[in-house]
Amino acid sequence: MNRIEQRFADLRGRGQKGLVIYIGAGDPDLEATRQLALAFDRAGVDVLELGVPFSDPLADGIVNQLAAQRGLESGTTPARVLETVSAIRRDSQVPLVLYIYFNLLHRVGVREFIAAAAKAGVDGLLVLDLPPEESENYEALMSEFGLCPIYLIAPTTPESRIAVIAPRARGFIYYVSREGVTGMQAKVSDTIGDMTSRIRTHSSLPIAVGFGISNAEQARQVAASAEAIVVGSAVVNRIAELGRSPELVPRVGGFVAELAAALRPG
């Protein structure tokens, strides 16, 4: 059982909801990423998703695009992200997922990338533009190296396709709660409960719901129909505002702790 599976099993045992946090790796630099990861672990984050900066992040809204740009400007390469993961692993066992575009795997070789990620201490990959139909031997390799392939399901995914995707996923299923790129929204979609119950007819994996959750109130709302919630842009925005300020880690860590508290009252 890898760290993601173990964590969700523990959460289930305690009857708690999980908190998944997304940040762009290398924003503002990789040392900040390491410190943020450790702060999030202390704040009660269950899974940390690290966005690996890509030059053409076409599934991302402006907040994450700018984070990727800052990441690239600070010299963040996939290899250096893996070094940072190794550094995080010296102090923390927080489950880690890389959120990544396929070309970055394809370029070095899918097997080579997965092997290096596993060695560094990564627990799962979410490859934005690699649908299961294109995944070839990706899942076999992920399984060989003990990593969870995380798949997205969208509001436009019909039931017949949920049946294709769900059995291939490991760790958790990521339900994208709205049509669109990543980013914050004022109101939570009201079709979430309907979709998560449809996904449950095809899989017993935990479901994490994301894309647009920006505050504690929304976190509580969404958690009612899922095992975990994902918060990304709202955290990335705070990182963008604070940049290299000494307040970065305490302030962003504080915001994440509030989200965790909202999910686990008392």
Does residue 129 interact with other proteins by CB under 8 A?
yes
Q: Per the residue annotation, which of 41, 60, 123, 227 is the catalytic one?
A: 60
Residue selected from 2, 16, 35, 59 as contacting other proteins according to rule CB under 8 A = 59
Q: Does 146 bind other proteins (CB under 8 A)?
A: no
> By CB under 8 A, is residue 134 in contact with other proteins?
yes
Q: Which is nearer to other proteins, 76 or 92 (CB)?
A: 76
- Is 60 among the catalytic positions? yes
User: Judged by CB under 8 A, does residue 186 bind other proteins?
Assistant: no
Question: Applying CB under 8 A, does 104 fall inside the site for other proteins?
Answer: yes
Judged by CB under 8 A, the stretch of 16-24, 39-47, 149-157, 196-204 that binds other proteins is: 149-157
We find the least distance from the C-beta atom of residue 39 to other proteins, in angstroms, to be 28
- State which residue, 118 or 153, has the beta carbon closest to other proteins: 153
For position 139 contacting other proteins by CB under 8 A, the verdict is no
Distance, in Å, from the CA atom of 20 to the CA atom of 221, rounded to the nearest integer, reads 15
| Residue 163 interacts with other proteins (CB under 8 A): yes or no | no
**Among 41, 49, 123, 227, which one carries the catalytic annotation?**
49
Residues that bind other proteins (CB under 8 A): 54-61, 65, 72, 77-79, 102-108, 128-131, 133-134, 151-158, 161, 165, 176, 179-181
Q: Which residues are catalytic?
A: 49, 60
